Structure 1
Amino acid sequence: MERELVAAALTAARARGRDVADVPLAAIAAAAGMSRSTLLRRLGGTRAPLDEAVRRAGVDPGGRPPARERAITAAASLIAEQGLGATTLDAVAAAADCALPTLHGLFDGRDGLLTAVFARYGPLPDLEALAADPPADLPILVREVHRVIICAFAREPRVLPAIFADACARPGGPGQQMLKAMIPCLTASLWTLLEPHITAGRLRPMPFPLVVQLLLGPITTHMLLRPVLESSADVELPTVEEISESLAAAYLRSVSA
């Protein structure tokens, strides 16, 4: 009986040039020579058993994100919930419902998958977008950079805090490798943002790595520690926006020429 319904689903899908999951049950029922209500009764009231039967027959029923997107999402959730150490390709394959060889082919191994996760959930995409259209006013620019960092730390699932935790706990581990790989791109974006102000003499002469550390260090430290501080009954924190304003003002006082 399962073979009969799978064959009807595939026939209806081919006739419409669509994935099985996107074909109405009425069309599948017609291909199987029965009414929609009869088909639903056979399936137990939901089409999920049919999609699973098609999958067991070796055909992806579709109707869900591609394997690459599922893997990135699954890996991000595993990193946030269990840490980088537990985010193996086997665990990601199981969570994303895809084959292990598929992951190897899509990402060139675990390192490639972790790089794709960081590219999706880290600060670089927003920072590069800011560098493509930067505000001319330096105080506004500093606050916008802070906003990018704040959003990256707050983004769910919480990938960035987990990467920092792994980097601190395991020198030379995957977290540290991911952060090291990020530095050239991050530095390039920040140079694009700050170079006009350095050239114009608005920032005092100092090594550029120090300019970057003074800009990112305080807000990064605050976002890493904030969950712990918020859980303390003895501490009432200002809002993140207030903290950002204070740190931005301190940064400008320290680097302005």
Structure 2
Amino acid sequence: MESSAYVEEVATTVRGHLAATGAEASELTLEDIAAVMGVSRSTLIRRIGHRSHLDEVLARHGARVVRLSARDRAVEAAAGLYGAFGVGEVTLDMIAADAGCTVQAIQGQLGGRDGLLTAVFDRYSPMPRVAEVLADPPADLEPAARLLYEQVLGAMMGEARVMAAMFAEIASRPGGALAVHVRENYAPRFVGLMMGWLTAHVDAGVVRELPEKTLLSLFAGPVLARSVTALATGEHLTPTARAELAADLAAAFCRAVRA
């Protein structure tokens, strides 16, 4: 239940965080705010009610608050609920209540449950981070590989409960909308991104000419195996530990593929 005193406490803490980091209030997800407060996302939601309650207090104290669209709020809310309860236990009504919007808005902007699932996967999976790195990657192979591994590990382990729920949905419903999306849309885009980067190094004589699937397996196999193991066991790696693991993976990959 919402507590006005707690909302004020959260607002004060968030304002301090914004002042220290230079971030904007609208850049913080509910997961970010929960981490700042040292509580779980579900506890935060239970105590403040909707995100809008916190935004109102922040705005009253002069923080710049940009209201997210119903689509973005629904994706964020769905991710948190999927991570907490599993995809099969979450209804559109629950998501709408958490996001402060209507079920009709979710259906209109995301296409209902299936569209919401794919939107959550696309946002929280490694693809956005990988695409950002490969838009302007380090010139040398190993630093680029290390940065890519850091981003993949950050997505897979930083949002561990969300990604665990996504993979459980794919495994349990191989013919479902999310599994089909991953096979037909997500995977080809990811392969295209990675092969564009690797082919440049092959052409430069840095990487051996190997079959595409072999190159991709050598890069992705170890990090996916490590990430899935962590998701399955609930293992938590700190950012420092993830960075060290990324360096080890990058070194091993480069040893395997260098010309």
TM-score of the superposed pair, with normalisation by structure 2: 0.65
1:185 lines up with 2:189 in the alignment: yes
1:202 lines up with 2:206 in the alignment: yes
- 1:16 corresponds in structure 2 to none
Asked if structure 2 preserves the Cα contact closer than 8 Å seen for 1:143 and 1:245, the reply is: yes
Which segments of structure 1 move beyond 6 Å, counting only runs of 4 or more? Answer: none
Partner residue of 2:164 out of 144, 161, 165: 161
Q: Distance in 1 between matches of 2:112 and 2:90?
A: 12
Q: Distance in 2 between matches of 1:84 and 1:150?
A: 22
Please give the residue correspondences for 1:135-174 in structure 2 after superposition, counting only pairs within 5 Å.
135-156=138-159, 158-174=161-177
Q: Distance in 2 between matches of 1:194 and 1:211?
A: 8
Larger Rg: 1
Give the letter aligned to residue 211 of structure 1.
Answer: L
- 1:123 corresponds in structure 2 to 126
1:248 lines up with 2:250 in the alignment: yes
Deviation, 1:227, is 5.4
Deviation string for 1:210-237 (max 9, x for gaps)? 2112111211211221256676xxxxxx
Q: Unaligned 5+ residue runs, structure 1? A: 1-47, 52-61, 232-237
- 1:14 corresponds in structure 2 to none
Q: Distance in 2 between matches of 1:196 and 1:239?
A: 30
Q: Distance in 2 between matches of 1:119 and 1:255?
A: 29
Deviation string for 1:5-34 (max 9, x for gaps)? xxxxxxxxxxxxxxxxxxxxxxxxxxxxxx
1:212 lines up with 2:216 in the alignment: yes
- 2:135 corresponds in structure 1 to 132
- 1:9 corresponds in structure 2 to none
Asked if structure 2 preserves the Cα contact closer than 8 Å seen for 1:121 and 1:155, the reply is: no
Q: Distance in 2 between matches of 1:91 and 1:157?
A: 21
Asked if structure 2 preserves the Cα contact closer than 8 Å seen for 1:84 and 1:175, the reply is: no
Asked if structure 2 preserves the Cα contact closer than 8 Å seen for 1:76 and 1:159, the reply is: yes
- 2:79 corresponds in structure 1 to 76
Q: Distance in 2 between matches of 1:229 and 1:76?
A: 20
SS at match of 1:126: helix
Alignment RMSD (CA, Å) = 2.8
Give the letter aligned to residue 167 of structure 2.
Answer: F
Asked if structure 2 preserves the Cα contact closer than 8 Å seen for 1:77 and 1:157, the reply is: no
Q: Distance in 2 between matches of 1:157 and 1:229?
A: 11
Alpha-carbon spacing, 1:228–1:103, altered in 2? closer, same or farther (3 Å): closer
1:239 lines up with 2:241 in the alignment: yes
**How high is the sequence identity, in percent, across the aligned residues?**
36
Q: Unaligned 5+ residue runs, structure 2? A: 1-49, 54-64
SS at match of 1:239: helix
Deviation, 1:192, is 2.3
Higher normalized contact order (CA 8 Å, seq sep 6+, divided by chain length): 2
Deviation string for 1:97-127 (max 9, x for gaps)? 3221111111122222222222221211111
SS at match of 1:135: coil
Asked if structure 2 preserves the Cα contact closer than 8 Å seen for 1:124 and 1:186, the reply is: yes
Q: Distance in 1 between matches of 2:94 and 2:234?
A: 32
